[in-house]
Chain A
Amino acid sequence: MSKNWQVKNIVEEASDTEESEEEQKDEESFEDDELSGLDIPEAKLPILRSIVSKGKAVANDEQQYFQQNERSEDADKLAIREELSNLTFEELQKLKEKIGSKKFNLTLTGVKKKPQVKTDFKRANPNRPREISSKSRRIETKVAIQVPKVFRSDPRFDNLCGEFRERSFYRNYDFVNKMKEDEVKKLKEELQEETQPRRIEKIKYLIQRMENQIRAEKKRKLEEEKQEEEKRITIEALKEGKSPYFATKWARKERDLKEKFESLKEDGRLNQYMAKKRKHNAQRDRRHMPSEQY
C-alpha cells in the first residue's frame, strides 16, 4: 500500500460534514457487477461468488440482509480469506484489478470500513448542497429526461363515457353513411383513371368494402323500421283501447318471406332464386341420407 507523498499540513482540512457516529456499517457487500467478467474459473471462489449473488438478491432489502448476516460476518471473512490464500498470484492480481485495490486491501486486512464513511447525511440548512452516498448503484428517482406517462382508458369500462344506447348511436353517426356513398362515387371515378395495378387493387377492395357496408346499413335500417312499425301498431291499439299486439317469431318470419317474395317477383329473379334454394336444400338433405356403401 503506497501512501501520498504530499506534505501534511498542521491545520486539519476543514470538513463541512458533521462528526460520524460509530455506526455499524454493513460489511463489504460486493456489488452485483463487481465479479462479472472475472477471468478466474467458476469453481475457485465459491464463497465469494455466493456472497456477491446474495448481495444481488437482497439488494433492495438491505436491513434484512444486515440482520441475517450479522453473526456470520466474521465467519464469512475468514472463509473469504482462506479462499483467497488458495489462489495463484496471477489470479489475485486479476481479482484486485476487477474489484479495485481499496476493497481488495480491506478484505485482506479484514479491517472494517473506516469511521470516516457515514450513512446518515444531514445538512445544516436547506441551502446547503444535498449529500448522498457515492457507492450505491441504485438509480435516483429523478431522471434526467422526463417523458410524460400516457394513461389510456377503455371507453367500454369508463364511467365517464356513459351507457351505450344503440338507437341514439346510429342516429348520431348517420352522417357517416352519406359520406360513404359520396366516397364510393369518387372512388369509382378514380378507378377509371388509375393505371397502377396495386392502386387499382386497393381501390377495388375499398369500393367493395364500402358497398358492403352501405348495404348492411340499409338492411339494418329496414329492420329498425319494421320494429318501429310493430311498436306503432301496438301503441295505436292501446290508444283505441284494444289489447296490445305482440308479434311472434313465426309471424315475423312469415312477413319477411312474403316481402322477399314480392321484391324478387318485381325484379324478375324469382326463378333463379328458387332454383338456388332448391339446390341448397338438396345438399343439406343429402347429409341425412344413408350412405351408399354397403
Chain B
Amino acid sequence: MSFFIRKNQRGAKRNNGATVTGRPKTYKEKKRLAHDDEISSHSEGENDDSRVYTESEEDEETVQEKRLRLTKEYIQEIENQERIRREEHDIDKSVIAHRLKEDLLEQSGRLRRTVADSYEKVDEALIRHLHCKDHKQPITCLTISPDCQSLFTASKDCTIVKWCLVDFKKVAAIKRVDKKTSSEVKGHKSVVQSLSISSDGKFLASGDLDNQIHIWDPMTMKWMHTFRGHRAGITGLVFRRGTHTLYSASMDRTVKIWNLDEMSYVETLLGHQDAITSIDALNKERAITAGGRDNSLRVWKIPEESQLIFNGHQGSIDCVRLINEDHFVSCGDDGMLSLWGSQKKKPLCSVSGAHGVDASNNQAFWISSVAALTNTDLIASGSQDGFIRLWKCGDNFRTLTPLLSVPVCGFVNSLAFSSDGKMLIAGLGQEHRLGRWWRNGSAKNEIVIIPLKQRETS
C-alpha cells in the first residue's frame, strides 16, 4: 500500500496540492486527491510530490488490484537496480527483502541510523548568533519548522519571533500584549514557555503562563485561535507528527488534547502528581511527559486511555525527548542525563553530573534542556556550565558516551536539532528559563546556530 511510495527526502519542501482557500484539508478533499494523484514508482534520488491517503471501505476492491500491480512494478524496479549494482544475472531474494524492509522503516519513520560517530568537531567560526530587540530577556523555547526554512523563538518578554534560516534574519514578531492594547491585537500577556509547529507547517502553537494557548499561522504569523481550558500555566506543547492534534502539558498536572481541524478540545489526561515540565510526541498516538518532582515520566497511550509510569531521577525532571518510538532521554536538576527504554521502568543508562559540578555550592549543574536527533543515536544536552555537550547512545541505548562539546556562554534554555541533522539550534539566556536563581551577566540573550558537519564516508 504505502511502502512503494517514496516519502519526501529529508529537508525537501512539500507541496500537497493546496486547497483553494488554504484551510486544512477535509476528509473528502483528501479522498479526491488520492484518486487524482498519479502514483508512480521512482528511481533513487527523485523528489516525490504525491501521496496516497487512506481509502474508504467501498473502494477497497479496485485499490487492492492497483496495489498489486504497483507492488509488482516496484519489486521489478528494485531487482533491476540491484542487478545493475551487483552486475549479476540472478538476484538473491534476501537482498530484495532487506531493501524492502529498509524502505518500509524509512517510510514509517522508524529507520534507525547510527550517525553519531560521523560528526566531526564543530568549527566555532561558523557558529551564528541571532539577536533582536524583541528578545531582550532570556530565550525560553524555540522550534524549527519541518522544512528547516524558518525558526520560531519565544522569550521571557512574552514575544515570539520568526527567523529565516536561509539568510538568518528576523522575519516577523508577535509582540507582548497588556491591558492597554485593544482586544483585536493578539499576543501573550505573560512569559511564553512552550512553542510547537505541526509537521506540515500549517499551525504554530504557543503556550504561556497565563493558561492560554494561541494558534498562529506560521506563514503569515496571523492569529487563528485561542484555547482556554487549562487552569495553570502551560509548560509544554507538541503536535503529533502527521496530524493536527496538539498535546498540551500544564502546571495544573493535566495533559489536554486539542484537535486543530475542528479547533476543539478533545480530552484531558490525568495522573501526574506534580506540575508537568515537558512533553514530547512522535508519529504514534502517544505522548510522554515529565512530571517534575514526582520523579515520574509517563507515557500516555491515548486510544487505550492508560498511562505507563517510569520512575527515576532524584530531583525534578526538567525535560524529556523521544529519540525513537521506543527510547527517550530525560534530564533533571540533579545533573543527571538518563536514557530510557519503553520496556523497563528504570532508566537503561544514567550519567550523573553530566555537565560537571558547580564550584560555588558543590552541586551538579542543572541540565535545563536536551535534544535528540530522531531515529538516530545522537543527543545534545545543555546546562549553565558553558558547554553544549553532544552524546552518542551506544550498544542498544545502554551506554552514553560523550562525543563533542561546543562552548557557549549562558544558560542553554532550549535545544533543537533540525530534521536533516545539519544544524543544532540553542536558545541562550542570562537566566534559567524557569526562574532567577542565577544571573550570568557576561552572557547574551541570543539564539545560537551550530552547523554540524558529518565526515565524508568512503
Contact = CB atoms under 8 A, between A and B. Distances in A.
B308 interface: yes
Contact of B274 (A3, A11, A144): A144
Looking at A16, A118, A142, which has the most chain B CB atoms within 10 Å of its CB?
A: A16
Contacts of B104: 9-11
A144 B315 CA distance: 11
A117 B344 contact: no
A151 interface: no
B284 interface: yes
A21 to B, nearest CB: 13
Nearest to A127: B344
Contact of A100 (B3, B242, B268, B295): B268
Contacts of A129: 299, 308-310, 342, 344-345
Chain A, interface residues (CB within 8 Å), range: 35 or more
A90 interface: no
Contact of B51 (A7, A101, A143): A7
Interface string B250-283: 0000000001011011111111011000000001
Contacts, number: 131
Contacts of B79: none
Given A6-B242, A128-B343, A135 B270 contact: yes
B263 to A, nearest CB: 10
Contacts of B118: none
Nearest to B286: A13
A69 B270 CA distance: 25
Nearest to B344: A127
B264 A97 contact: yes
B306 A16 contact: no
Contact of A2 (B262, B273, B300, B304): B262
B283 A133 contact: no
Nearest to A10: B1
Contacts of A8: 1-2, 54
Interface stretch (B25-33, B91-99, B417-425): B25-33
A7 B306 contact: no
B264 A101 contact: yes
Contacts of B54: 3, 5, 7-8
A119 B53 CA distance: 33
Contacts of B53: 5, 7
Contacts of A282: none
A137 to B, nearest CB: 6
A2 B309 CA distance: 31
A279 interface: no
A56 B286 CA distance: 29
Contact of B259 (A2, A13, A16, A136): A2
A139 interface: yes
A134 B307 contact: yes
B22 interface: no
A130 interface: yes
A165 interface: no
B243 A7 contact: no
A55 B295 CA distance: 32
B30 A5 contact: yes
Interface string A185-219: 00000000000000000000000000000000000
A159 B353 CA distance: 52
A249 interface: no
B214 interface: no
B162 interface: no
B293 interface: yes
B39 interface: no
A5 B25 contact: yes
Given A2-B261, A101-B259, A128-B345, A136 B270 contact: yes
A11 B284 CA distance: 13
Contacts of B30: 5
B344 A134 contact: no
Given A6-B283, A129-B344, A101 B309 contact: no
A132 interface: yes
A111 to B, nearest CB: 14
12 contacts: A3-B54, A5-B27, A9-B104, A9-B107, A11-B104, A16-B342, A17-B301, A100-B264, A118-B306, A131-B309, A135-B305, A144-B274
Interface of A: 2-11, 13, 16-17, 20, 96-97, 100-103, 114, 116-118, 121, 127-137, 139-140, 142-145
Given A13-B284, A117-B305, 12 more contacts: A4-B243, A6-B243, A7-B107, A10-B104, A100-B264, A114-B303, A131-B307, A132-B306, A134-B270, A134-B300, A140-B271, A144-B273
The 9 closest A-B pairs by CB, nearest first: A6-B242, A129-B308, A2-B261, A129-B345, A144-B294, A134-B307, A134-B269, A100-B267, A144-B274
